[in-house]
Amino acid sequence: MTQIINQIIQFLQQGVAAIFKFLQLVWTWSFGQIVTIFQSDWQALPVWKIVLLVVVLGAVVYLLYKAAVQLWEAAVSVFKAFVGLLSAFVLVLPYVLIAGLIAFAGAWLIRTVNL
CA distance 88 to 93: 8
Angle at 14 between CA 8 and CA 20, to 5 degrees: 140
- pLDDT of the chain along its 115 residues, tens only? 788 888 999 999 999 999 999 999 998 999 898 888 878 787 888 889 889 988 988 999 999 999 999 999 999 999 999 999 999 999 999 999 999 999 999 999 999 988 7
Cβ-based burial of 57 (10 A; exposed 0-12, middle 13-18, buried ≥19):
middle
Same domain membership, residue 77 and residue 27: no
| Residue 108 and residue 58 share a domain | yes
Q: Is 43 helix (H, G, I), strand (E, B) or coil?
A: coil
pLDDT value at position 68?
95
Say whether both 64 and 104 belong to one domain.
yes
Q: Which amino acid, residue 13?
A: Q
* Same domain assignment for residues 49 and 95: yes
The domain of 102 spans: 41-115
Same domain, 61 and 83: yes
Q: Are residues 24 and 55 in the same domain?
A: no
- Dihedral (CA of 79, 80, 82, 87) sign: positive
Residue 3: what pLDDT?
A: 87
For residues 102 and 65, membership in a common domain is answered with: yes
